[in-house]
Structure 1
């Protein structure tokens, strides 16, 4: 096979790799995408694209496609907690999570900056990848190579990567940069000699992915997205038609080869009672898996030409759906930064900011996934400690059921922690800058559960509709790697002052003058806001005319000049001992010397 040359080699065609390649193409950067498998995944994996990821998909031009291939918007995200589907089983509690259609109504009516631009979408990763692959292959800026394994790399002035085909033939690819999106067992991470901190937690699951049109029996307790049974089994509705996934808790090291998957499905659905039979049309795939809590010690290689994204950089417990969604954020971030450097206006501090910005996000999400997992671990432990009590017609039974109901309704952040999803903030980053009129002591809260809209430097700019009630401020942002300067002053004083600076620095920018948008100005709270290509705020000012060194603002935003940082509130909230305490309470006694997660929480 002939050698080839590409600006960026992306290894792995899961969500992180596909989105990285697409983000590079949107920014007019050619790349090569390599995937060892010929086909996309058959495993269900993630089943929710959260609101921030859908916002990103809209920026990349694929949100309408996601809407079309995902679960129709009329279906809710309701989660049931049940003792079983048999006649004696009952729903103990319910999380009433709105449908995308209801979300869209709320987004239109509650135009106060607290809502996302786009609602959540339900879509299995298997469906997403299958749809996105031909979309990527049709892009003339993306060269795709499927069916060849990445073997290793040598990193010098360029990166020389070696691939091997099934017949043993080798191919060499020379690239300026490599992005490793090749999953938990990342060969790119190993080749870059980046340690992975963490490991599996106690416990394992037997996954059964299957087809069944027996909705009358499966939904006898109501339409659902997830059912969590008090036995620890979980059933997930993948498409509201005929595709489902069952997760069955199993002992570590259990051999499932002799388990009949249909019988396992019946047992799971029966919950605390006898197996509950349904008509199973087809078993799609089965596997066993263990939850992992891992993070790479670094996201960037020693010579700063190799980067990690997605599962190669971080792995968390699935509760909360943070795995793929964090990967989407990684891909969107590294894509625009690589584009800025390759186009020539990104400075030496821009690419290092990828690690300093995205790694704390992963740490926070890992910690929160453990908190959510502990919610389920608690009530399943209560039921195991009191066999038969949760279904008993007695005072003890009623007391336990009420305890479970109060517990899960009071700890419902698993899919309502909008602060985690929209409120993460890069205020600790060296490429965001406080204006002279911003006091560091005034930084607003950065809570997990509640999202506080803010244009504090480093925050995601709040979505707000303009006075016409149709145009989102997001619709006015620049495309690709363009920055956006939003100027609310009557005479456009910031646009006039910034225009020659951006031209002199060679940085693409879109100027947006909105002097009459008083509602938006009130929510954003400043007369001028500089928004990065990833929708995060680089700088802002409340003064009617600029007084800051505007060239410094631009040079810092693109990494040509670095300012010292004392750390933002996001990092202040993530302390190693607190994070590990959450995991310890979740999964039991984890050997920290073996798992070494304490070191992973040191940023």
Structure 2
């Protein structure tokens, strides 16, 4: 086998869309050498999924690329809310919601916020930043086959420009190869869920006059409900570039060839309510909304991430965000195992943590499509839940009742009824503003490449953390919070970090590299070194 291997890498990523690129970025931030192969020649040209929720923006912030993403998204920075209308020229119009974060309540929970950045604008940023982190990303390169054994995966890839085949040996393979994942199919991993929900054709078009029709209205999307021509209108630049999602009914014998430029243009004019509108069709792409979750997220040394692991209705942009968060969860675990800090058992927690989140989130996405009467979606029974209800909780309030955590409540709902970010094991650690050497930072800014132990100054926890990091040879940073010379970090505006994190001044909180609480000590313990050593050993599957 050695003679046939052309190159070796710790991780091979298959798929170079949002999730594959994010996997590359996050692995690069951990210093993990990897290769990404993508069969297409470049990043997406079509302005597809655009909503990046607050949790995803936290991850991009921790990876150091939030400013670049905001810049790429600047053209849509003033677009907010979802409008539903029979037409854009009549009186029958209703805002489903006008602001994502009315009143700025989100600032209590996060140092950042939502961002509207189309996939064709976000992917080049991820690509550039992943390469800056040392990622080897190859487009026009297709996975032809793979086999795995007890020590790794052997893959054959093809350069589609030259036709050359080469063999890659990797310790692990991450399949981010889309909803019809060839990797998942080869592994014979089944799926569960409600299956296909509806079908649309995404139509890009140019219209200079549409901006005048809209006037001052700046929405994320407008659902147009004219029964003669319904659809969803999305701005690309608010000036002359637009996208329209038209219902497609293949079950009625309708084919893509039926969507001629003339039909599409007339459909758009009727839906908008402007018969003489200038409409120039520039592109068409079919897409399918479905609710499916893979029955397994891994087999051996192969892991599924993004659409290969779960499909969701696009309403609410849950699918791409869930996929990026899959990548973040998996990246630190792969890094820990590859560098010898963790046992292979840590990787089993990827499925136990992320699969329940996908199931709960996919159900919420389908409910949201029903709430918004998404064009083409006619569920037999409209799911419950109020409009805009629970969006923030689904986006960032989910938890891991089981996985690489200690002390989590196994009966806790994966997505609770209300936001509960109080330092409980298995939840995303709370956000709190701190001051370090005169600089303001969030507690979330501490979490990325290492475990972090938080405690009050004057307690033995910081020294215990430093000792355990040395004993186990793991990345573990310990910070003492408080006032005075012994403190590393000071709370801003007299904040009480212990109360916010659900502990006491004598307790401590252990946070994983992905920002989730691994363990919490409510108070002092007789031997903090022994206690923390045992916790780290269990969480990292080194027992």
TM-score scaled to structure 1, two decimals?
Answer: 0.79
- Counterpart in 1 of 2:342? 346
Residue among 241, 245, 248 paired with 2:246: 248
Residue among 502, 513, 517 paired with 1:525: 502
Per mean C-alpha deviation after superposition, the further-off stretch among 189-198 and 350-359 is 189-198
* Pair 1:432 & 2:405 matched: yes
Give the paired residue count: 515
- Counterpart in 1 of 2:99? 97
Q: How far apart in 1 are the matches of 2:415 and 2:169?
A: 44
- Counterpart in 2 of 1:314? 310
Segments of 5+ residues of structure 1 without an aligned counterpart are 383-406, 562-603
* Pair 1:418 & 2:392 matched: yes
Shift of residue 307 of structure 1? 0.6
The one-character-per-residue Cα deviations of 1:92-125 (angstroms, maximum 9, x if unpaired) are 34411147xx88x655xx54xxx22211000111
Q: How far apart in 1 are the matches of 2:476 and 2:433?
A: 22
Residue among 495, 498, 505 paired with 2:465: 498
* Pair 1:149 & 2:142 matched: yes
Shift of residue 210 of structure 1? 2.2
Shift of residue 444 of structure 1? 7.3
Q: How far apart in 1 are the matches of 2:355 and 2:519?
A: 22
8 A Cα contact 2:205 2:283, kept in partner: yes
Residues 322-471 of structure 1: matches in 2 within 5 Å?
322-377=318-373, 411-413=386-388, 417-429=391-403, 431-434=404-407, 440=409, 447=415, 450-466=418-434, 470-471=440-441
Judged with a 3 Å threshold, the aligned counterparts in structure 2 of structure 1 residues 138 and 2 are, in CA distance, closer, same or farther, namely farther
The one-character-per-residue Cα deviations of 1:398-454 (angstroms, maximum 9, x if unpaired) are xxxxxxxxx99983227x61111111111222x2112xxx8x59x877655632222
Q: How far apart in 2 are the matches of 1:359 and 1:381?
A: 25
- Counterpart in 1 of 2:487? none
Q: How far apart in 2 are the matches of 1:519 and 1:269?
A: 57
**Structure (1/2) with the larger strand percentage:** 2
Shift of residue 249 of structure 1? 1.5
Residue among 272, 288, 302 paired with 2:286: 288
Give the secondary structure class of the aligned counterpart of 1:203: strand
Residue among 99, 113, 118 paired with 1:119: 113
Shift of residue 296 of structure 1? 1.4
Segments of 5+ residues of structure 2 without an aligned counterpart are 484-490
Judged with a 3 Å threshold, the aligned counterparts in structure 2 of structure 1 residues 379 and 215 are, in CA distance, closer, same or farther, namely closer
8 A Cα contact 2:154 2:170, kept in partner: yes
Question: Relative contact order, CA 8 A, sep 6+: which one is greater?
Answer: 1
* Pair 1:206 & 2:176 matched: no
Give the secondary structure class of the aligned counterpart of 1:132: helix
* Pair 1:160 & 2:144 matched: no
Judged with a 3 Å threshold, the aligned counterparts in structure 2 of structure 1 residues 455 and 276 are, in CA distance, closer, same or farther, namely farther
The one-character-per-residue Cα deviations of 1:225-257 (angstroms, maximum 9, x if unpaired) are 111122341111234343321111132241242
8 A Cα contact 1:419 1:446, kept in partner: no
Q: How far apart in 1 are the matches of 2:384 and 2:195?
A: 28
Residues 538-553 of structure 1: matches in 2 within 5 Å?
538-545=518-525, 549-553=531-535
Judged with a 3 Å threshold, the aligned counterparts in structure 2 of structure 1 residues 11 and 259 are, in CA distance, closer, same or farther, namely closer
Give the secondary structure class of the aligned counterpart of 1:201: strand
The one-character-per-residue Cα deviations of 1:451-494 (angstroms, maximum 9, x if unpaired) are 2222110100011113789321123x1542x1000112x41321
Give the secondary structure class of the aligned counterpart of 1:522: helix
8 A Cα contact 2:399 2:413, kept in partner: no
8 A Cα contact 1:71 1:239, kept in partner: no
Judged with a 3 Å threshold, the aligned counterparts in structure 2 of structure 1 residues 508 and 40 are, in CA distance, closer, same or farther, namely same
8 A Cα contact 1:10 1:179, kept in partner: yes
Shift of residue 207 of structure 1? 1.5
Shift of residue 143 of structure 1? 1.5
Q: How far apart in 2 are the matches of 1:265 and 1:460?
A: 46
Judged with a 3 Å threshold, the aligned counterparts in structure 2 of structure 1 residues 219 and 409 are, in CA distance, closer, same or farther, namely farther
Q: How far apart in 1 are the matches of 2:268 and 2:61?
A: 38
The one-character-per-residue Cα deviations of 1:169-213 (angstroms, maximum 9, x if unpaired) are 311100111101111121222233322345742532122022333
**Root-mean-square deviation (CA), in Å?**
3.0
* Pair 1:60 & 2:63 matched: yes
Q: How far apart in 2 are the matches of 1:137 and 1:478?
A: 22
Judged with a 3 Å threshold, the aligned counterparts in structure 2 of structure 1 residues 242 and 555 are, in CA distance, closer, same or farther, namely farther
Shift of residue 66 of structure 1? 0.4
* Pair 1:560 & 2:542 matched: yes
Judged with a 3 Å threshold, the aligned counterparts in structure 2 of structure 1 residues 546 and 466 are, in CA distance, closer, same or farther, namely farther
Q: How far apart in 2 are the matches of 1:186 and 1:380?
A: 25
TM-score scaled to structure 2, two decimals?
Answer: 0.87
Q: How far apart in 1 are the matches of 2:269 and 2:80?
A: 19
* Pair 1:170 & 2:145 matched: no
Q: How far apart in 1 are the matches of 2:334 and 2:71?
A: 31
